[in-house]
Amino acid sequence: MSRKKGAKAKSNTASPSASTPRKENAKSGKSTIVSSVQANGVVHPSRPSLSSSSEFYDIAFKVMLVGDSGVGKTCLLVRFKDGAFLAGSFISTVGIDFRNKVLSIDGVKVKLQIWDTAGQERFRSVTHAYYRDAHALLLLYDVTNKASFDNIQAWLTEIHEYAQQDVVLMLLGNKADATHDRVVKREEGEKLAKEYGVPFMETSARSGLNVELAFTAIAKELKHRSMKVDPNEPKFKLQEYVNKEMKSTGCCRS
């Protein structure tokens, strides 16, 4: 895995932790940009920090993309980061490591460091440290590939075993643009997600459908969790937000 040398890339472990400050820094709270780190690893800079993409941010989180090989994880990330769709198969053989993107959520700059799996998912042998470090996981299947949908339960078992208990999780049925090849109905995705109590939506890295929304919803949830909010303020509800903002594939939803 190639490793970016970002301003705060201090970890030398195999896990993706380029934006998490070392504990000793976190404790001293003075010497560096970082003033405090919560137990869940959220970075709270004392002043805005400069990410490796040269954008200031207030808080940072790690988001991981998981799911079978070929479901469109790399394409989803590229679509979100660069607004482009990479067709063809060359991209599926090599994963990219991670990309940073800073979103402005209710006036707070939230940096998402989004990690892609680099082929390990082929054998569902994603390093366990990968899960452990994640603040959020986007679990993808491909609506044109039944096996990728059937494997979701196995992925969820892995996640429940290895991810942090309070990890933000969302199920995405990708390739929603591929109407003719679709074999998994939206309702089936909804049903499975409901069974496991996981927010769900369909996306398309090709058309861009709901891609921005998926990451924004995650960022909002993470931001709400990490900030001390007024107890009188209504709790942020991820699925409700998604339902309100979601765009359907068109044919069947009013």
Give the C-alpha separation, 221 to 224, whole Å: 5
Number of H helices, E strands in the chain: 9, 10
The β-bridge partners of 61 are 112
CA-angle at 213, arms to 209 and 218, nearest 5°: 140
> Of 51, 74, 148, 174, which one interacts with Mg ion (CB under 5 A)?
74
Give the C-alpha separation, 9 to 17, whole Å: 7
Chosen from ligand GDP, Mg ion, none, partner binding at 216 (C-beta under 5 to 8 Å by type): none
- The token duo for 206 is 């090709």
Report the nearest approach of Mg ion to the CB of residue 8 (Å): 25
Q: Is 95 in the site for Mg ion (CB under 5 A)?
A: yes
Q: DSSP E strands: which ranges in the chain?
A: 34-37, 43-45, 49-50, 56-57, 59-66, 98-105, 108-115, 136-142, 168-174, 200-202
Q: Is 96 in the site for ligand GDP (CB under 6 A)?
A: no
Report the nearest approach of ligand GDP to the CB of residue 91 (Å): 5
Task: Give the residue nearest to ligand GDP (CB).
Answer: 72
Report the nearest approach of ligand GDP to the CB of residue 191 (Å): 21
Candidates 86-94, 129-137, 224-232, 241-249; binding stretch for ligand GDP (CB under 6 A): 86-94
Give the C-alpha separation, 34 to 31, whole Å: 8
Q: Is 223 in the site for ligand GDP (CB under 6 A)?
A: no
Asked if 132 and 162 count as a contact pair (C-beta separation under 8 A), the reply is yes
Chosen from Mg ion, ligand GDP, none, partner binding at 175 (C-beta under 5 to 8 Å by type): ligand GDP
Q: Which of residues 137-166 bind ligand GDP (CB under 6 A)?
A: none
Q: Is 204 in the site for ligand GDP (CB under 6 A)?
A: yes
Which chain residues interact with ligand GDP by CB under 6 A?
A: 69-75, 87-89, 91-92, 174-175, 177-178, 204-206
Which chain residues interact with Mg ion by CB under 5 A?
A: 73-74, 95
